[in-house]
Structure 1
Amino acid sequence: MPTDLSASLAALPGFPQLHGPRVRLRGPRPQDADAVFALFSDPEVMRYWSRAPMTQRDEACALISEMEEAFAQRDKINWVSVDRRDMVIGTCTLFRFDARHRHAEIGYSLRSDQWGKGLAREAVGAALDWAFRSLHLHRIEADIDPLNDNSRRILQRLGFVSEGVLRERFFVGDEAKDSEMFGLLADDWQRRERS
C-alpha cells in the first residue's frame, strides 16, 4: 500500500511517542544534555561509531539542537530512548528517507551499563514497527562496523539480513573502517510479527 512518505512525515505533529515494555522513545529535550553527553562520551559506546567520543558537554547540547532541527525539517527522526524513570539510556534514529523507493536507514545507541538486557532490541523494534506501519516503508537498512558483534546480533534477532561489506567506507580519525550493510523488508517484519 504505497503512500506519500514526504506527506506522512510532514503531517507528524511532533516526535512520535513509542512505548515498549521497558523503554520509551521520545523527542530530545535540552535537559537531556548531561545524559546525552554521558552516552556519547563513553569510549565503549563510541567504539564502532564513525566519530570520536564527545569531550565537551556543549557537543551534547549541539547534538540535541541538531536532533530537533532535523525533525523540524523531517530529515531525521532522532529519538532518545528512556527508561521508566524518563532517564535517557540511548538513542534510535530513522534517517536518509527515500520517498520514491520507500526506504530509510536506522541507527541506535545504548549506554554501556545497560548492555545485555535486550533494551536496544526493544527500542529498535518499536521504531521499526512504527516505521513499517505508520510510514509504510518497504525497506529499512542499517550499517555497522563488521567487528561489532553485539550490534550484529541485535539486527539479526530483529530479522535483518547481512547484505555485504563495503570496504573502508568511513574514517574514524585517520583510520579507514569497513561497513557491513543489513536490510529488512516490510514483508520480513510482518512475517516475523505473525510468527
Structure 2
Amino acid sequence: MTVSPTSEAIAARLAALEDFPLLQGPRVRLRGPRDDDAPALFALFGDAQVMRHWSRPPMQDVAEARALIADIRKSMQERRLINWVIADGDDALIGSCTLFAFSAVHRRAELGYALHRAQWGRGIAREAATLALNWAFDHLGLHRCDAGIDPDNQASRALLHRLGFVTEGRQRESFFVGDRVTDSELLGLLASDWRGGR
C-alpha cells in the first residue's frame, strides 16, 4: 500500500504554488482564468441547462462572471480552491474544473466541473477531470477525492463512475437551487482506486 504524504507536506505543496498549475491534455488544458474569459464564463454559468443541477441559479449578466473570476483568483491566493478554466485547442474557455474544500489534515478535496452544452458527450469533462485528479493524487498527494451531485444528474453520475468514484450515500434535502430543495448524492474516490484503474 502506498503511504500518502503527511498533512504538513500537502499543506506545503499547496502553499508553494505560485499560480494555477497548467495541466495539458490531448484536447484540453486546465489553466487559470483571464479577464477576457468573462463572456464565455457567463455563457457557461448563464445557461439554465448547464445550471439545472447546480446549487445556484444561472447568472443573469456578464458582471457576475467578472466577479466570479475575481473570487476565483482570491480563493486561489488563499488556497481555498483551485478553479481552473477548461480551455480548448484555441485556448478558449469551454468549461470549468475545480478542486475545493481542501483538507490537508484529512488529505482530501472535492471535485467539481461544468462544461458548455456544445461540448457535452465528447469526453471533454472526463479528460479535464482526469487531469485534475492526476494532479491531486500524484502531485499534491491526496488520499481521497469526493464529489457531490444532484441525484437526478445521471450524466454526471455516469462520468464519475467511469472515473472510478463510488456512490457512498445520500444527504436528504441538502441544497437549494432557487426555491427548489434537492438531495445530494455523495461519491468518493481513493488514491489507491485511481492508481489501480489507470
Secondary structure at 1:7 match in 2 = helix
Counterpart of 1:126 in structure 2 is 131
Counterpart of 2:99 in structure 1 is 94
Q: Kindly, what percent of the aligned residue pairs are identical?
A: 58
- From 141, 145, 152, the equivalent of 1:140 is 145
- From 44, 48, 56, the equivalent of 1:51 is 56
- Answering whether residue 180 of structure 2 is matched by residue 181 of structure 1, we say no
* Superposition CA RMSD, Å: 0.7
* TM-score (normalizing by structure 2): 0.96
The separation in 2 between residues aligned to 1:2 and 1:135, in whole angstroms, is 8
The separation in 1 between residues aligned to 2:5 and 2:13, in whole angstroms, is 11
Secondary structure at 2:164 match in 1 = coil
The separation in 1 between residues aligned to 2:100 and 2:154, in whole angstroms, is 23
The separation in 2 between residues aligned to 1:35 and 1:172, in whole angstroms, is 22
The separation in 2 between residues aligned to 1:158 and 1:174, in whole angstroms, is 32
1:60-94 deviation per Cα after TM superposition (whole angstroms, max 9, x unaligned) = 00000000000011110000000000110000000
Structure 1: runs of 5 or more not aligned:
none
Counterpart of 2:37 in structure 1 is 32
1:143-166 deviation per Cα after TM superposition (whole angstroms, max 9, x unaligned) = 000000110011001000001111
Give the drift of 1:2: 1.6
The separation in 2 between residues aligned to 1:65 and 1:54, in whole angstroms, is 15
Secondary structure at 2:174 match in 1 = strand
Counterpart of 1:66 in structure 2 is 71
Structure 2: runs of 5 or more not aligned:
none
- From 114, 117, 125, the equivalent of 2:122 is 117
Counterpart of 1:78 in structure 2 is 83
Secondary structure at 1:21 match in 2 = coil
**Alignment-mate amino acid for residue 174 of structure 2:** R
1:106-151 deviation per Cα after TM superposition (whole angstroms, max 9, x unaligned) = 1000001110000000000100001001110000000000000110
* TM-score (normalizing by structure 1): 0.98
Please identify runs of 4+ aligned residues in structure 1 that moved more than 2 A.
none
**Alignment-mate amino acid for residue 90 of structure 2:** R
Counterpart of 1:13 in structure 2 is 18
The separation in 2 between residues aligned to 1:68 and 1:40, in whole angstroms, is 17
The separation in 2 between residues aligned to 1:6 and 1:188, in whole angstroms, is 23
**Alignment-mate amino acid for residue 2 of structure 1:** P
The separation in 2 between residues aligned to 1:52 and 1:66, in whole angstroms, is 17
Secondary structure at 1:64 match in 2 = helix
